Amino acid sequence: MSTDRRRVLGWLGATTALVALSGPGRALARPAPPPARPNIVYIMADDLGYADLSATGSHAIRTPAIDSLGRDGIRLTQGYASTPICSPTRTALLTGCYAQRFAIGIEEPLGPGAPPHIGVPLNRPTIASVLRDQGYHTKLIGKWHLGEPPEHGPLQHGYDEFLGVVEGAADYFRHHMVMGGKDVGIGLAQNNAPEQREGYLTDLFGDEAVRTIESAGDKPFFLSLHFNAPHWPWEGREDAAAAKTLPNSFHYEGGNLAKYKEMVEAMDQNVAKVLAALERTGKADNTIVVFTSDNGGERFSETWPFIGHKGEVLEGGIRVPILMRWPGHIAPGTLSDQVMASMDFLPTFLTMVGGNVAKAGKFDGADLSAQLTGKAASVPRTLFWRFKANEQAAVRQGDWKYVKIGGKEHLYNLAEDEHERAERAAAEPAKLAELKGLWDGWNAQMLPYRVDGYSEDVRKAYADRY
């Protein structure tokens, strides 16, 4: 008998035996291939107000690309930043925990007066490291603001690659913070070293994201795209000449509603490029795409129907858009009242890609994957905020919210009054005391503020505050 014939008969015999084991009249069941793990593109704006998207009520700004994520997926009406300012919220996003558990998370925000060598502890699991442990390629494009490389850059906290600005802001053309007319800090960096490139930062980050998607192979990727837009300085694509003469990046003397519109719409155009790259490469159907902001709006933002701004625990300072698309898993056009905060993305993403949250570490954030994909109803949350400037504290428990600001305490029912005007403290003293007690218990578990620690006071820049 030939060798080939023996191989065929051996295969037929093995197949017959397997069919026999499956029982009479039953076809042999072949195991289905495991589903491909989804890519993740997490897009975060900087200082974008809740109502700065056309989908959330902007009077002037048009954001069709960002809006499409809600049209093709889910939009959360009760999304929150974990803090009312940038680097602490980024700490919460990175760690899946309240920012105030870490020394860097009580710098409001991280600045030149912070202790040296500050950063998230190097042994702490992060949103990037837990996904990398699941076999993901991880990359951060855009703003970091959580310490300096090579000690505390993105590569030291779970990212395989980094291209972005290290500090809390950068001129859109000079790619550095500007103080006294001079470029300061590291500015734009690639991995652990300063990087020289030309171009408008919003476009530069969008183009890098497109290249990353187009060059990705079969390995799943986690791409954090953290635009610095629409953070100051107030510069559009045509302002390169003006940028050369800027005295400082805070740009107190500049900006207007028209310029702000231009900056947000430039960001939306880059989101459109990213979505087009996913379609062009055949990755769109297996990619989770999220858009949100790091805190509430500043200076030229719209926050209606909420009051307050960045740097305040009022809803306008912490309520942010959250839109998410995942074809085949999230029903198009879903509008959700699920309360979700920045620190929830780590456990939620980890579950979505098939990881085990309990094995990955201990987190304050909640796994909301079932709520986002429609497998479970919305769940009530109890969330806490604090801010050193103006002695601020807040608790949200279900529909109730306790607020302390400027030495005064308030109680609101957000289901009845999302504008935080109908004062309920006198009518509900027991609820006020309950929520205040919850905040005291939570605060006792967090790190105390440094006596000389920085906390940004919005009263210094806004004529209508206090």
So what's the pLDDT on residue 25? 46
The CB-side HSE value for 268 (13 A sphere, CA atoms) comes to: 20
Helix or strand (DSSP H, E) at 215: helix 201-215
Look at the block and give the residue holding tokens 């902001």.
Answer: 293
Q: pLDDT by residue (tens digit) across 261-281?
A: 999 999 999 999 999 999 999
CB 292 within 8 A of CB 322: yes
So what's the pLDDT on residue 461? 83
The structure tokens listed for 456 are 């940004």
So what's the pLDDT on residue 466? 56
Q: pLDDT by residue (tens digit) across 136-173?
A: 999 999 999 999 999 999 999 999 999 999 999 999 99
CA distance 110 to 262: 28
**Sequential DSSP letters for 230-253:** TSSS---TT-HHHHTT-S-TT-TT
Model confidence at 13, in pLDDT bands (50, 70, 90)? Answer: very low
Residue 129 has pLDDT above 80, yes or no: yes
**Sequential DSSP letters for 68-119:** HHHHSSEEEEEEE-SSSSHHHHHHHHHHSS-GGGSGGGGSBS--TTSPTT--
Q: What is the mean pLDDT of residues 354-377?
A: 98
pTM: 0.92
Q: How far is CA 42 from CA 179, 190, 250, 420, in A?
A: 31, 19, 27, 30
So what's the pLDDT on residue 21? 33
